Amino acid sequence: MLSGVDHDVPDGIGMARLAWTRLPTADGEGAGPSTSAVADGELLSAAAMESLDYEVIENYAYREEQAQRSKFWVPYYVMLKWLFSLLIGVGTGLAAIFINLAVENFSGWKYTATFAIIKHSYFVGFFVYTVFNLALVFSSVYIVTNFAPAAAGSGIPEIKGYLNGVDTHGILLFRTLVGKIFGSIGSVGGGLALGKEGPLVHTGACIASLLGQGGSAKYHLSSRWVRIFESDRDRRDLVTCGCAAGVAAAFRAPVGGVLFALEEVTSWWRSHLMWRVFFTSAVVAVVVRSAMNWCNSGKCGHFGAGGFIIWDISGGQEDYSYQELFPMAIIGVIGGLLGALFNQLTLYITKWRRTYLHKKGKRVQIFEACLISLVTSTISFVLPLLRKCSPCPQLDTNSGIECPHPPGTDGNFVNFYCSKDREYNDLATIFFNTQDDAIRNLFSAKTFHEYSAQSLITFLVMFYSLAVVTFGTAVPAGQFVPGIMIGSTYGRLVGMFVVKFYKKLNIEEGTYALLGAASFLGGSMRMTVSLCVIMVEITNNLKLLPLIMLVLLVSKAVGDFFNEGLYEEQARLRGIPLLDSRPKQVMRNMNARDACKNQKVVCLPRVSRVVDIVSVLRTNKHNGFPVVDRGLNGESVIGLILRSHLLVLLQAKVDFQNSPFPCGPGVLNRHNLSDFVKPASSKGKSIDDIHLTEDELGLYLDLAPFLNPSPYVVPEDMSLAKVYNLFRQLGLRHIFVVPRPSRVVGLITRKDLLLEEDSNNVMAELPSTSV
Ligand code: ATP
């Protein structure tokens, strides 16, 4: 017997029934929620991660469960999926409204109080402004460090990892959701150089995951009747909807949300999912719009006029000449260079933080965030004081220019340290303002030149530095808005230059600011299609589409020349083993056997002694074990058993038997079927928590009814590149490498798979074996 001993991959006899490659099936029942949070959001390590199981484990339990399902199960399942898409849209939309409402109101109170006080004393005004910011940032960092460590950062690298097949513990917990929402309010309201858009993507994903698991069991907020989507496959679909909803809510860009999920986060896609994601994004758009309409009448305090990103620059430059393409391409190059530099600097700083700073504990993290808040407040208050004010243009209803009245509160242009009422301070207009208003100002496409080059350069240098330093602090932080602000500043600078150079053309600086924003995001995040659509949706100007496409392509190409995109770099730094869309070149010259050279496969015999199973689980950290059976023809692999299933069996003890011979199926009525149908994750369960007596350790366990009888198998000489593609496209967790089989029992072609379809369309949604 092979109990608990290292064992080479057995001969492939009997493997013919195991699939070489299989069509992806639609569904499976899967892992429960993550139950543990990482101790420190920064210190995520590979050990804190585990792969997800997207595979359908077609064991006896699965088949039995399929047989027990009533005929109403299928419509119920499909209906619930759509209902959940709706709920995710509503939930994310409401969360976005809440965050925006809180941020706008906090900012509104802060600026109103500060502007009222500086009429009497600038020093006291500065003090109040700084303390207000400090209090908000402190609340944010305190929540994150003490309550929800996984809420730090944007969360996009972790969600990207999740949708790539890696579960980082703690990222989708209820407390992470709460931490993300309240933390974002503090960090964004506190004026740090970061945005709320990335965190909203994470918020949408958390809402989706929590809904999918029927609420939070830990906080007794769960409901059994909706707990139908516990499989990793279903949760992945819901989380994809959540991500799209997050972007749709953050930018009020529903199509951009769908494309963001498709291009940036998920590695896996299918048309049914596309429809649901589309539906969720549309729901978000409706929810957000309803709230905006309601709030516009002044019911929501400072929220309404300036809340939510929508920078409608229609009325600006509607056409472009070919001469402008060159400066626009230059904007793309600058975006690529500055974006790549941003990625590199943030990578170094994050590494340094992890190695030297954050290891010292929560207090250091809190102190760091508060210090950055003080520096940010000082820079944003003091630098505008050094600028001279400019007179407002003649108030012209068509120009849309809103010079401050009353000074500095609501208007886009801020009257700050100006001697006259009808003057504005251009640096304060972008520095001493809410982010959304600042961007609206930078994008504004009006007939006069609102900003001096000196102010724009000052802002660019200072804000870029602040954004780099702020990235990686222990607060929820998105990079979209800082990226847009940085990009629109140098875009506008280029625009000013072009206006001077091509005097005869109708050129708007605001248009160049928009292109600059797109170029920086393209250069840093390396998104193209989704970003392009998001930019068009938020500016409401379709005519600029070709220009945005141009700068995005240039900036991405330039950025790619230097390093990887921001999220990929950060994911790698956090130890998330992301599988890129393409295998490395070297894999073409390697085969499957090379990838597992010198590996001694740890197998379990079909009927194992309990003591041997315990020993294998104690001495190995692996989550899957091949199961072998000894027959007349020698030894053959009969499937794969998951660690989590072994733990369930050891804990339940009901299948222990005295006999070392197979007992066959029929034992399942003693179990909760779902424990074996779901490829339940072993998170939260440990072999050390299971206590067995001496007698129990001497008994036997037949693993056959619980194993996955058809795991994916590849021949040892298949190229590693091909294995890679298979692994990634099917979202696999384990793949067996076997010797070349000696005979073929059949051959399947496309035509063999075109079976007579049941007329019911909804069947396509279901696991292959259930239809
Ligand atoms: P995941 O961590 O993705 O959930 P896993 O825990 O089953 O999967 P790991 O233990 O993390 O797998 O894999 C680490 C290394 O051990 C890999 O090189 C893998 O090929 C190898 N490995 C995994 N399972 C076994 C096994 N049963 N016997 C021998 N080597 C294994």
Better pLDDT: 400 or 531: 531
Q: Which band of pLDDT confidence, cut at 50, 70 and 90, is reported for residue 318? A: low
One-letter-per-residue 3-state SS of 706-738: HCECCCCEEECCCEHHHHHHHHHHHCCCCCEEE
- C-alpha–C-alpha distance, residues 686 and 671, integer Å: 19
Please check the confidence at residue 581 and state whether its pLDDT lies above 60.
Answer: yes
Nearest CA to ligand 1 atom 15: 622
Predicted pLDDT of residue 758:
52
Span 49-76, mean pLDDT?
80
Better pLDDT: 665 or 492: 492
Please check the confidence at residue 72 and state whether its pLDDT lies above 90.
Answer: no
Predicted pLDDT of residue 399:
45
Please check the confidence at residue 562 and state whether its pLDDT lies above 70.
Answer: yes
Whether 540 lines ligand 1, by a CB cut-off of 6 Å, is no
Architecture of domain 114-297: Orthogonal Bundle (1.10)
Better pLDDT: 623 or 635: 623
Please check the confidence at residue 12 and state whether its pLDDT lies above 80.
Answer: no
Whether 329 lines ligand 1, by a CB cut-off of 6 Å, is no
Helices (H), 507-609: 509-525, 529-539, 545-562, 566-573, 592-595
In the structure encoding, which two tokens stand for residue 286, read together?
A: 């409706």
Other CB atoms within 10 Å distance of the CB of residue 537:
21
Residues in Cβ contact with 719 at an 8 Å cutoff, skipping those fewer than 6 apart: 587, 588, 589, 590, 591, 592
Residue 168 β-bridge partners? 49
Q: Which band of pLDDT confidence, cut at 50, 70 and 90, is reported for residue 59? A: confident
Q: Which band of pLDDT confidence, cut at 50, 70 and 90, is reported for residue 504? A: low
**Which residues in 553-711 belong to E strands, given as ranges?**
601-602, 604-605, 607-609, 624-631, 634-642, 700-702
Task: Pick the range with the lowest mean pLDDT from 247-251, 420-424, 695-699.
Answer: 420-424
Which sequence spans correspond to the domains of the chain?
A: 6-69+589-770, 114-297, 322-372+394-573
- C-alpha–C-alpha distance, residues 766 and 389, integer Å: 65
Please provide the average confidence, as pLDDT, over all residues in the chain: 82
Better pLDDT: 687 or 44: 687
Q: Judge whether 6-69+589-770 and 114-297 match in fold.
A: no
CA of 733, closest atom in ligand 1: 3
Please check the confidence at residue 578 and state whether its pLDDT lies above 80.
Answer: yes
Whether 625 lines ligand 1, by a CB cut-off of 6 Å, is yes
322-372+394-573 homologous superfamily: Clc chloride channel (1.10.3080.10)
Span 225-245, mean pLDDT?
83
- C-alpha–C-alpha distance, residues 262 and 114, integer Å: 43
Please check the confidence at residue 602 and state whether its pLDDT lies above 50.
Answer: yes
Predicted pLDDT of residue 669:
55
In terms of average pLDDT, the best of 410-414, 444-448, 631-635, 718-722 is 718-722
Nearest CA to ligand 1 atom 13: 622
Other CB atoms within 10 Å distance of the CB of residue 495:
30
- In this structure, the chain runs to a length of 771
Nearest CA to ligand 1 atom 11: 622
Whether 299 lines ligand 1, by a CB cut-off of 6 Å, is no
Predicted pLDDT of residue 649:
86
pLDDT 10s digits, 641-656? 999 889 988 888 887 8
Span 528-546, mean pLDDT?
86
Please check the confidence at residue 42 and state whether its pLDDT lies above 60.
Answer: no
To test ligand 1's pocket by mutation, which of 622, 714, 732, 736 has the most ligand atoms within 8 angstroms of CB?
A: 622
Predicted pLDDT of residue 157:
93
Nearest CA to ligand 1 atom 2: 50
Task: Pick the range with the lowest mean pLDDT from 371-385, 661-675, 754-768.
Answer: 754-768
Whether 683 lines ligand 1, by a CB cut-off of 6 Å, is no
Please check the confidence at residue 340 and state whether its pLDDT lies above 80.
Answer: yes
In the structure encoding, which two tokens stand for residue 513, read together?
A: 């600011």
What type of residue sits at position 594? D
Architecture of domain 6-69+589-770: Roll (3.10)
| Residues above pLDDT 70, as percent of the chain | 81
pLDDT 10s digits, 157-190? 999 999 888 888 889 999 999 999 999 999 999 9
In terms of average pLDDT, the best of 354-368, 416-430, 605-619 is 605-619
Q: Which band of pLDDT confidence, cut at 50, 70 and 90, is reported for residue 19? A: very low
Predicted pLDDT of residue 263:
87
What type of residue sits at position 513? A
In the structure encoding, which two tokens stand for residue 481, read together?
A: 């808005």
Predicted pLDDT of residue 9:
35
Better pLDDT: 135 or 575: 135
Predicted pLDDT of residue 255:
94
